[in-house]
Amino acid sequence: MIILNGQLSILCGGIGVFYIVFDMITQAFGSLLVYALLGGGSLLVVALIRLGRYELAKVVSLLNINAVVYLFVTRQGTHLYGLMYFIPICMASFAMFGHKGRYKALLMTLMSLGLAALALLSDYSILEKVTFSPELDRINQVINTMIAMISATVIIQFLIRLNHNSEKELSENGEYLKELAQQLESSQRQYALALRGINSGLWDWDITNNVMKLSVKWKRMLGYAEEELVDIPGQTVLDMVHPDHLDRVSDLVNRHLLKQEPYNMECKLRMKSGEYRWFSDSAQAEWNSEGRAVRMVGSMVDITDRKLAEEQITRQNAVLEKTNQELDKFVYSTSHDLRAPLRSMMGLVNIARQSNSIEEISACIDMMDERVKTLDDFVQEIIDYSRNSRVELKPERIELNELVKQVIDNLRFIENISAIDFRISIDPQLQLEVDKSRLRTILNNLIYNAVKYHNYQQQKPYVLVSAEKGNPSVVLKVEDNGIGIEPDFQKKVFDMFYRASEISKGSGLGLYIANEAAVQLGGMINLQSEPGVGSEFRVTLPNR
């Protein structure tokens, strides 16, 4: 548009020069005001363009041309061909102002039409009218027509060139946009492939409208289909958080949105199936100029396998720590309990060597035999302890009633057992699928202790072994009416090397081994005892 304005200014200057020469030839002087307006206006327009006042230059140019044409037309005696100048002026108005300035162009066009109508309908003229001879009038008409056509041609040529350049630019932009679209499509494919390749689910929370969008990967990680959970409120996801983690998640989100603290956490989320899995979630919010959060985008990764592995390691470390502590205690106590009877036997051997009495030597041999049996029992307990902690479970179908009878039969040679009334209250048809060796160890230790620490001063000492089958467990009881256990000692009887009674001559491993075996079988042992009345050991095992 600036170029057109400049071209029209140059054209107007050229036309002015032409008419000066024409008037000199035809001796039609008296239009110096027209020439001054035309030349001065053209120079002013050029100056405004150089100063960057483009809009003002357009207005001045059109006002100046309209004024010059009006004065020129009204000065001539014949108006019709002079009025043709208003046609290119109207064209120039719309060409220079363009679409954005179409209302300005319309005003200029109305002004041009008004001046043309005024010149056509009125004989008034500011300048003195000029009368031409028929030959000059005909020449003047031809000149006016040619100049109007040339001016219109200049404007049309400018518009054609402008349109051509626009089409060329559109074509180039079209090629560029096509290439850009191809690059964008390629980037989208790469982005989609990257999303499928990573193990993250993306989420986008429009905080202002409280609308959360979830990626397909996010939904699938929690067991949902693509068409589910579409444009949901943020509370819906918050409701999936495990109750134990809900307060922490809410606190971290609020601190991130209000204080812009980093948001990165691990929590459990409820799957569509109802189960909970571990996820690692991190996000970044966007704040407006007022510091209010308007959007939050994040990614989530399933870390359940890692968490289970960590929990397994934690459990193993706890077991290892417990084992190390027990090993230290075991080594110390075992060495003490092994050396004590060995030293006693060494003393008895020395006594027997120095004695000539058959009775005294026989007594020493009996005492050594007792020490050997004690050592044998202790070694067996050590073997049971080692087997329980190292040997894998080997479940098999057993008849509980028969196993109890076998255990009692194997104890028939221990001291005072003949004084005990053994009672068995177990359904002969009751079967268990259990590790037989460990269950035998449990029964052996419980029944042996019931015999060993019984009250033989009463008239009817007994040991009752019973079982109750329930769902989902079987409860096995070993009950006696022996000396009982003091309340202060009952919580410690399952500790390693703990002896609850001053009369105890055992290693203190029996009940510890029995309890560990029960834990290995997935069960537990509970004790109820009253001093002077008796004890009841209750073994609870899974009913498979």
Tell me the CATH architecture of domain 392-544: 2-Layer Sandwich (3.30)
528: number of CA atoms within 13 Å, CB side? 6
Alpha helices by DSSP H, listed for 391-426, are 400-410
Q: Find the mean pLDDT for residues 221-230.
A: 90
- Domain 200-302 in this protein, CATH class: alpha beta
Residue written as token pair 């960590």: 310
Confirm if 454 and 482 have CB atoms less than 8 A apart. Answer: yes
Pairing of the two strands 421-425 and 462-469: parallel
* pLDDT greater at residue 359 or residue 239: 239
Q: What is the pLDDT of residues 249-278, one digit of tens each?
A: 999 999 999 999 999 989 999 999 999 999
Q: Using 50, 70 and 90 to split pLDDT, how confident is the model at 113?
A: confident
Sequence-ordered list of residues with C-beta below 8 angstroms from that of 95, at least 6 positions apart, any chain:
1, 4, 155, 158, 159
Nearest to 273 by CA among 328, 329, 236, 220: 220
Ramachandran angles phi, psi of 17, nearest 5°: -60, -40
Query: Helices then strands (H, E): number in the chain?
Result: 15, 12
Q: In which band, very low, low, confident or very high, does the pLDDT at 332 lie, cut at 50, 70 and 90? A: very low
Say what the pLDDT of residue 211 is.
92
Q: Is the pLDDT of residue 202 over 80?
A: yes
Q: What is the pLDDT of residues 75-106, one digit of tens each?
A: 765 555 667 777 887 887 777 777 788 888 88
Distance, C-alpha 168 to centroid of its chain? 48
Encoded amino acid at 411, one letter: L
Dump pLDDT digits (tens) for 379-435: 666 666 666 566 677 888 889 889 888 888 887 777 778 888 889 998 888 888 888
List Cβ neighbours of 381 (8 Å cut-off, separation of 6 or more).
507, 509, 510, 513
Maximum alpha-carbon separation in the chain: 183
pLDDT value of residue 278 = 93
Distance CA(167)–CA(181), nearest Å, equals 20
On the CB side of 430, CA atoms within 13 Å amount to 20
pLDDT of 483 reads 86
Q: Is the pLDDT of residue 217 over 80?
A: yes
Phi/psi for 230 (5° steps) reads -100, 125
DSSP class of residue 241? B
How would residue 199 be classed by pLDDT, with cut points 50, 70 and 90? Answer: low
Query: Nearest 5°: CA angle at 29, between 40 and 119?
Result: 70
For residues 438 and 486, give the distance between their C-alpha atoms in angstroms, rounded to a whole number.
28
Sequence-separated (6 or more) residues with CB below 8 Å from residue 269: 222, 240, 241, 242, 276, 277, 279
In the β-sheet with 534-542, what is the strand arrangement from edge to edge? Answer: 421-425, 462-469, 473-480, 534-542, 524-530
**CA–CA dist 149, 145 (Å, integer):** 6
Phi first, then psi, for residue 454 (nearest 5°) are: -90, 165
The CATH T-level fold of domain 310-390 is: Helix Hairpins (1.10.287)
- Token pair for 307: 């968490």
Structure tokens at 189: 């494919």
- Which H, E and C letters describe 476-523, residue by residue? EEEEECCCCCCHHHHCCCCCCCCCCCCCCCCCCCHHHHHHHHHHHCCC
Strand, helix or coil for residue 225: coil
Listed in order, the ranges of the chain carrying CATH 3.30.450.20 are 200-302
Look-up of token digits 């006002």: 63
Nearest-5° Cα angle at 21, 20 to 27: 85
CA dist., res. 495 & res. 250, Å (int): 44
Q: Cβ–Cβ contacts within 10 Å for residue 317, how many?
A: 10
Q: Which long-range CB contacts under 8 A does 356-362 form with residues at least 24 apart?
A: none
Domain with CATH 1.10.287.130 in the chain: 310-390
Provide the pLDDT for residue 210. Answer: 92
Mean pLDDT of 25-38: 62
* Separation CA 207–CA 216 (nearest Å): 21
Structure tokens at 329: 């205690």
